[in-house]
Amino acid sequence: MKRAGFLLAAAAFAFWTAALLGQARPRVSRPRPPRQVGPRPALPSQAVTFNKQIARILQASCQKCHHEGDIAPFPLMTYQDAFDHRFAMADQTGRRLMPPWHVDSSCGGFEDDPSLSGEDIRAIGEWVASGAPEGDPRDLPPPLTFTPGWSLGPPDQVLAMEESFTPSFTQGDVYRCFVMPTGLTADRFVAAVEVAPGGRAMVHHVLLFVDSADTAERLDRADPGPGYTCFGGPGFTPTSALGGWAPGNRPRLLPEGVGMHLPKDSRVVMQVHYSARSGVLEPDRTLIGLHFSKAPVQKRLLAVPVLNYNFLIPAGAKDHEVRASIPYIPFDAHALAVTPHMHLLGKRMNLTATLPDGRQVCLVNVPDWDFHWQGTYFYRSQVPLPVGTRVDLSAWYDNSSENPQNPSRPPRNVTWGEATTDEMCLAFLSFTLDAENLTGAAGLAATGLATFSPFWEEGWLPGPSGDSRPLPGSPRPR
Ligand code: HEC
């Protein structure tokens, strides 16, 4: 049982990091609508114009993806760009499909929430309805520029694949792990990781694991060519994870005083998923930029899964609920981020904390799950989770043939698993422990929490009922 718990935790670990990828969406090319340049109507003085309002909305909420070379299928940088796509813009913003944001803004309160105000949406609608006027050139704000390269500035350390790798797609997609020694002679804390994919068109995603033993190197030696084949996870139990990358993902610095622990002499193992569908074949040499924490780090970023791996979604079920919970959080903690995860049958998910005083806190609500836009959502203010807090997750799945995403035709009974045709019911809470103080005299060895990684604590995993066993009042040091 213990072993099974570990393996499941390892599986979940892989998905945590997968989910850490942020917002992944394959690039879709669409035919451009025909250019329409007709006579423009005369402007009433209060009219919404591109130069005055629309350009500002595009800069604030759209251009980070809608510029040349990024993930959106067309740029929205100039008047002509916006004019060409004006009807789709009004439609997509009116239905709140763009900018993409897949959690309920009224729950949690997250950083980077790009949701447009009602006023902005009305302005776009009015602009289109009035013939999409360009307006007075003097109203135009200075253009935003996007410099390719490291978006957080030059990293403190760059790790690279030893040599470039060209995947062979004869058997479909390729999952390959590359071992990158850090050469660090002292433990470090990482505040952010930025991934610079080499073969950008074929690199579907990148996951980063930490190995402080030489397991990954052994796997590498046993497999000819650069790196080794690995699917799902890295093929060993990682010491920790450093997140990852997928198109659209932007690195984010952890708050001051919080860091991801990178032990000295460790290796970063990078799993790259090369997508055969891209139709591109080129050598890839992906780089990893590590940004070390500048200020002293008091707390490690830890993560705990709220998960249920004992479920069965019957074939044909249209709205099947699966629950998971942590009935008792055994220490004072603060939640920093949440990462919901399901596969293709997922419809909705919500996660609620019930504090010891009975108050309920909405941790995340996903009203319309989209597998292609996974994200880690950082709370604008960290959520206190005092000892005795209970966390409950509910997830709903559509395993009917009416679900266009259903990978099985006809539908079959679905249980927990790593394959696309399996499902998961899981959310990760990233948190810090209130009692942890690494800058105290004894540093990492200061408390019984030194080697404590709740992630690996079996007691956090749910039992057969989908409900975790209550833990004793204090964490077990290992
Ligand atoms: C996080 C990246 C991102 C942001 C921000 C973003 N878009 Fe998009 N947009 C995309 C991607 C990717 C697509 C391609 C369709 C898809 O994958 O959903 C897209 C597609 C579109 C489309 C075409 C949709 C269709 O199905 O025809 C329109 C119109 C659009 N975006 C407008 C906007 C506007 C307007 C904004 C800002 C208010 C915006 N987008 C912000 C990434 C983004």
Domains present along the chain, CATH in parentheses: 50-139 (no CATH), 149-297 (2.60.120.310), 300-460 (2.60.120.230)
- Do the Cβ atoms of 150 and 289 come closer than 8 Å? yes
125 CA to middle of ligand 1, Å? 16
| Token pair for 258 | 């919080």
pLDDT value, residue 242? 81
pLDDT value, residue 335? 96
pLDDT value, residue 44? 55
- Do the Cβ atoms of 292 and 433 come closer than 8 Å? no
In short, whether 24's Cβ falls inside 6 Å of ligand 1 is: no
In short, whether 115's Cβ falls inside 6 Å of ligand 1 is: no
In short, whether 316's Cβ falls inside 6 Å of ligand 1 is: no
In short, whether 71's Cβ falls inside 6 Å of ligand 1 is: yes
437 contact partners, CB below 8 Å, separation of at least 6:
298, 299, 446, 447
In short, whether 55's Cβ falls inside 6 Å of ligand 1 is: no
pLDDT value, residue 452? 38
In short, whether 72's Cβ falls inside 6 Å of ligand 1 is: yes
98 CA to middle of ligand 1, Å? 5
- Would the pTM count as exceeding 0.85? no
Show the CA angle centred on residue 464, arms to residues 460 and 468, nearest 5°: 25
Atom of ligand 1 nearest to the CA of 88: 29
Give the residue from 237, 202, 200 showing the smallest Cα distance to 216.
237
Integer Cα distance of 161 and 156 in angstroms = 17
For residue 302, report the phi and psi dihedrals to the nearest 5 degrees. -115, 165
In short, whether 349's Cβ falls inside 6 Å of ligand 1 is: no
Atom 31 of ligand 1, nearest CA residue = 98
pLDDT value, residue 54? 98
In short, whether 25's Cβ falls inside 6 Å of ligand 1 is: yes
Strand-by-strand arrangement of the 174-181 sheet? 228-229, 174-181, 267-274, 203-211, 240-245
Give the residue from 338, 197, 339 showing the smallest Cα distance to 271.
197
305 CA to middle of ligand 1, Å? 31
Q: pLDDT tens for residues 244-265?
A: 776 556 788 899 999 988 989 8
Integer Cα distance of 422 and 401 in angstroms = 15
86 contact partners, CB below 8 Å, separation of at least 6:
127, 128, 132
Pair type for strands 188-196 and 287-292: antiparallel
pLDDT value, residue 420? 67
| Token pair for 41 | 């109507």
Pocket test of ligand 1: the residue of 54, 56, 59, 62 to mutate, having most ligand atoms within 8 Å of its CB, is: 62
| Token pair for 325 | 């919970």
- Do the Cβ atoms of 437 and 298 come closer than 8 Å? yes
92 CA to middle of ligand 1, Å? 8
Mean pLDDT by 10 residues, the chain (478 residues): 37 38 38 49 73 96 85 90 98 93 91 90 97 96 86 91 91 87 92 86 80 90 92 72 68 89 91 78 92 92 84 97 91 90 92 97 94 80 94 97 92 84 85 86 47 37 33 31
269 CA to middle of ligand 1, Å? 33
In short, whether 441's Cβ falls inside 6 Å of ligand 1 is: no
For residue 14, report the phi and psi dihedrals to the nearest 5 degrees. -60, -35
279 CA to middle of ligand 1, Å? 23
Contacts by residues 119-125 (CB-CB < 8 Å, ≥ 24 positions apart)? 120/57, 120/61, 120/93, 121/93, 121/94, 121/96, 123/48, 123/53, 123/54, 123/57, 124/54, 124/57, 124/89, 124/90, 124/93, 124/94, 125/90, 125/93, 125/94
87 CA to middle of ligand 1, Å? 13
In short, whether 23's Cβ falls inside 6 Å of ligand 1 is: yes
Atom of ligand 1 nearest to the CA of 23: 1
In short, whether 128's Cβ falls inside 6 Å of ligand 1 is: no
Integer Cα distance of 443 and 459 in angstroms = 26
- The phi-psi region of residue 443 (left if phi > 0; otherwise alpha if psi is between -120 and 50; otherwise beta) is left
63 CA to middle of ligand 1, Å? 9
| Alpha helices for 271-425 (secondary structure H) | none
